[in-house]
Structure formats: C-alpha cells, structure tokens
Amino acid sequence: ARMMLAEEGYENIAVEINSFGDKDSIARFTRDLGNYYRKHINDMSPESRQLFKQDPIDLLACRDESVRELNQKAPKSLDFLSETSRRHLEEVLEYLEALAIPYSLNNSLIGNKKYCTETIFSILDMDHDKKDKSSKVLAIGVRYDGLYKKIGLKKEIQGIGMSILVKNNKPELRKELKKVK
C-alpha cells in the first residue's frame, strides 16, 4: 500500500494501528466498554445513546461532542489482549520498526467486530491540510481470522483486507473502458 501511495505522489505518510485481539479479547473489551458507557449514559446525547444500544464499540469513533471526552477515559482495547494477541501485535510493530515505517497507536481506530480480529490500521497523509494539522486517511485495513468458518470452509485461513481511498486526479492515467460483447 505504501508503494502504491508513493507512486501516486504521497511521500509523508504514517500508519495508525490498533488491535482488538482474538474473539475472547473482543468479548472482554466489549463488556467492559459497555459497562463504562452505561455509567455515563446520562452525559450522552440522544443520538449517542442510540449508537450505544446498537454497539458500544461504535462510540469510540463517534464525533459527537458529548462522547469525545468520555472516549478519552474509555477502556482501551489493547488492555484486554490475550497473550497470543499481544505477541501478534508486538510482531507487527517490530516489522513496522524494521521497515522504518512511522506508526502510532490509535484506540479510536475500530473495525467491525463480526469479522475483524487482531490488527486494524489506517495510512494517513501527513501533508494534508497543514493549517488544521489534521491528516487525511488514504487507506484502511483489517485482519480477519475466523472468517473461514462463516463462509463454510473447514481449513483455518487468516487474511487481511484493505481499501485504498485515493482519488486519482491525473487524467493521463485514466483509461477509457471499451465495451465487451
């Protein structure tokens, strides 16, 4: 992904990463996060309360002002990782360091707990909108273990999925598609 983004002209990029861990880690984290938000339900807006009813994990990415402060003190998914998941995250971080890829841990980076396990990442353009010191998401990705069971396979297969969110503004790279009979 970094090479593809470099070909598009993105030079100053960084990786944000988080981990949900395995199925048991996700269950423990979701339970404690739900208990935390339940204690502070009266401090939330009605929209945030509805989001809480659907899935407490979704509140971590909520931009609502009533939840932002709560999210700063919310339980972190990294604190609930099993030993196996912790080792996996350490290995991923060691690879990033060995490849000299700048990264930061981001607790608000979340994935769908129905299929997302272990690591979640995003790649950011650090040169985007320097006035506001904000960054633009260029790519997002998740790891999914256990998905093989849901699609009916008997053999365990790990996988990752990634979406690159770059809009190509170079007209010379666009190709006209021809209709095929």
Give tens-digit pLDDT for 128-174.
665 444 458 888 888 877 667 777 777 777 778 888 876 655 555 55
Residues with Cβ within 8 Å of 112's Cβ and at least 6 positions away in sequence, in order, are: 142
Task: Please report, for the chain, how many H helices and E strands are present, in that order.
Answer: 6, 5
Beta pairing partners, 123: 15, 139
pLDDT band at 176 (very low <50, low <70, confident <90, very high): low
